[in-house]
A and B are shown apart, each in its own frame.
Chain A
Amino acid sequence: MKRPEPLEIFQPKSLREASALVKEKGPGGRFLAGGTDLVIAVKEKGLKPKYVVDLKRIPALTGIRENGDGAVTIGALTTMREVEISPIVLKKYPFLARSAAEVGSVQIRNRATIGGNMANATPSADVAPALIALEAKATIAGLNGERTIELEQLFRGPGQTVLAPEEILTAIVIPPVSAALRGDYIKFSPREMMDLAYVGIAVALVFNGDGKTCRKARIALGAVSPTPMRARRAEALLENQTITEELAEKAGAEAAAESKPISDVRSSADYRREMVRVNTKRALLNAAVREPASWIERRDWRY
């Protein structure tokens, strides 16, 4: 394996200092979070950053906090493993914890961060569909202050975001959710662990008091379009309806029609579309009928 070329690594202690560094040093630098993508890009794909700005010394970027109104802020430098085992995440949206647990290995998840994963904008990122189904926002800091956008709007294409060079993704904010929210994430992948998703599907459903009629539905898909996407037409089929196997089947077909997969080394576009159809149906039925399950059931859940 190739070794990195000499590099200068800065370790600013505040966001302002980090943005100012990039402004001063000019284009060609890279931010470093967990490094599980960046170091591989340097070693394997010939990426040669002019300099590296390590964000791990900025305390404001870490931790998961529940705000007074029930919204949850996940600092951008929170590791995937922290998301996976966070009591707040496990209690409020266990399917988000499970999607984080689908990333790489424990070793990778101890380093990889949620912000780094979003800022790299890989179409197959596992936590992206779960976060988008929860209508998460992205908080971005730049030299002229802070802005907040819909996470869905962060992505422009594979590896591309709306972030300006000196801007830093600081946090993911999940708005307050109904206590009646139930969700699921299915990663469809050739191996149980350590592989990228052919298809990733997150659903988040809110039911009426009767526990049957779906008041609100969100379906988000990963790895089947240039950016993680919502399946809005499929969502519309479900709202104010009782979720039956027949309806879930119809919504799956609609989501498949909305997806825009490519054919590549992992699978053909047709196969991916078919897997969107089947797994959207499964995810909807899981969410509609099942209480959150423990880790041990993950194998049964997926297949």
Chain B
Amino acid sequence: MKKKIQITLNGKKTDLEVPSHRLLLDLLRDEIGLTGTKEGCGTGDCGACTVLLNGKAVNSCLIFSGELDGADIVTIEGLKIGPELHPVQRAFVQEGGVQCGYCTSGMLMMSKALLDENPDPSEEDIRFAISGNLCRCTGYAKIVKAVQDASRELRARRT
């Protein structure tokens, strides 16, 4: 059952004809070719597939394409600002918040969603926000530090 939908993907209006049952995750990776979004568990427990849907962090493995007409979607490929890495991306690199990298795109999208909502999160706020993003390498300490650095950088830019 194919369905015509129009979405805004990383800022660009995109017309698609997709099977309704295709998961957003598969739509992104297999039909559009944006493979930065990863599949971990497939059941909404690990957060590797996190993207922003209408500005909110969601698990792309739990959304049917048939629900998406009119949606605004941002993936890891749309995170950078112009040619430059987003401050949260740079902070992950500088702090060593990335090891194997599999959880990283989901972690970055969740961190961006947090910082959009709360520009000055406490450590507790950050841990609460990323509780749905599993990382098996870092032990989270450097990820939390990176989000704190990024929040400082973003606030400095605003003033």
Q: Using CB atoms and an 8 Å cutoff, list the residues of chain A in contact with chain B.
A: 1, 3-9, 11, 32, 35-36, 39-40, 43-44, 52, 54, 56, 81, 104-108, 110-111, 192-194, 295-296
**B39: which A residues are within 8 A, CB to CB?**
1
The one of B20, B45, B58, B67 in contact with A110, judged by C-beta atoms closer than 8 angstroms, is B58
In the assembled complex, the CB of A77 is this many whole angstroms from the nearest CB of chain B, namely 12
Quick one: given A1-B41, A1-B43, are A56 and B131 in contact (CB under 8 Å)?
Answer: no
Q: Is the CB of A296 within 8 A of B131?
A: no
Q: How far is the CA of A4 from the CA of B18 in the complex (A)?
A: 14
Q: Does B122 contact A (CB under 8 A)?
A: yes
Q: How far is the CA of A111 from the CA of B41 in the complex (A)?
A: 17
Q: Is the CB of A40 within 8 A of B129?
A: no
Q: How far is the CA of A91 from the CA of B45 in the complex (A)?
A: 30
Q: Is the CB of B132 within 8 A of A104?
A: yes
Q: Is the CB of A40 within 8 A of B43?
A: yes
The one of A3, A11, A52, A110 in contact with B23, judged by C-beta atoms closer than 8 angstroms, is A3
Q: Is the CB of A296 within 8 A of B66?
A: no
Chain B residues touching A, majority SS = mixed
Q: Is the CB of A296 within 8 A of B1?
A: no
Q: Is the CB of B63 within 8 A of A9?
A: no
Q: Which residues of B, 74-110, contact A by the 8 Å Cβ criterion?
A: 110
Q: Is the CB of B129 within 8 A of A106?
A: yes
In the assembled complex, the CB of B107 is this many whole angstroms from the nearest CB of chain A, namely 12
The one of A1, A6, A111, A193 in contact with B19, judged by C-beta atoms closer than 8 angstroms, is A6
In the assembled complex, the CB of A148 is this many whole angstroms from the nearest CB of chain B, namely 29
Question: Count of A-B contacts with CB under 8 A?
Answer: 105
Q: Is the CB of A107 within 8 A of B110?
A: yes
Q: How far is the CA of A11 from the CA of B67 in the complex (A)?
A: 8
Q: Does B57 contact A (CB under 8 A)?
A: yes
The one of B20, B53, B58, B131 in contact with A9, judged by C-beta atoms closer than 8 angstroms, is B20
The one of B21, B47, B113 in contact with A4, judged by C-beta atoms closer than 8 angstroms, is B21
**For the side of the interface on B, what is the size category?**
35 or more
Q: How far is the CA of A54 from the CA of B3 in the complex (A)?
A: 14
Q: Does B42 contact A (CB under 8 A)?
A: yes
Q: Using CB atoms and an 8 Å cutoff, list the residues of chain B in contact with chain A.
A: 1, 3, 19-21, 23, 26, 39, 41-45, 47, 50, 53, 56-59, 61-64, 66-67, 69, 110, 113, 122, 124, 128-129, 131-133
Q: Is the CB of B21 within 8 A of A105?
A: no
Q: Is the CB of B47 within 8 A of A9?
A: no
Q: How far is the CA of A5 from the CA of B22 in the complex (A)?
A: 9
Q: Is the CB of A36 within 8 A of B21?
A: no
Q: Is the CB of B20 within 8 A of A7?
A: yes
In the assembled complex, the CB of A31 is this many whole angstroms from the nearest CB of chain B, namely 13
Identify the closest chain A residue to B70 (Cβ): A57
In the assembled complex, the CB of A278 is this many whole angstroms from the nearest CB of chain B, namely 25
Q: Is the CB of B122 within 8 A of A9?
A: no
Q: Is the CB of A107 within 8 A of B42?
A: no
Q: How far is the CA of A52 from the CA of B64 in the complex (A)?
A: 11
In the assembled complex, the CB of B109 is this many whole angstroms from the nearest CB of chain A, namely 9
The one of A6, A104, A110, A296 in contact with B21, judged by C-beta atoms closer than 8 angstroms, is A6
Q: How far is the CA of A44 from the CA of B41 in the complex (A)?
A: 11
In the assembled complex, the CB of B67 is this many whole angstroms from the nearest CB of chain A, namely 6
The one of B44, B53, B66 in contact with A104, judged by C-beta atoms closer than 8 angstroms, is B44
Quick one: given A39-B62, A106-B57, A107-B47, are A193 and B42 in contact (CB under 8 Å)?
Answer: no
**B122: which A residues are within 8 A, CB to CB?**
296
**A9: which B residues are within 8 A, CB to CB?**
1, 3, 20-21, 64, 66-67
The one of A3, A8, A108, A192 in contact with B59, judged by C-beta atoms closer than 8 angstroms, is A108
Identify the closest chain B residue to A192 (Cβ): B131
Q: Is the CB of B1 within 8 A of A6?
A: yes
A-B CB contact pairs (8 Å), 11 listed: A7-B21, A8-B1, A9-B21, A35-B67, A39-B63, A44-B43, A105-B44, A105-B131, A111-B58, A111-B63, A296-B122
**B50: which A residues are within 8 A, CB to CB?**
107
**A36: which B residues are within 8 A, CB to CB?**
44, 59, 62
**B3: which A residues are within 8 A, CB to CB?**
9
Q: Is the CB of A106 within 8 A of B1?
A: no
Q: Is the CB of B131 within 8 A of A108?
A: no
Q: How far is the CA of A44 from the CA of B62 in the complex (A)?
A: 11
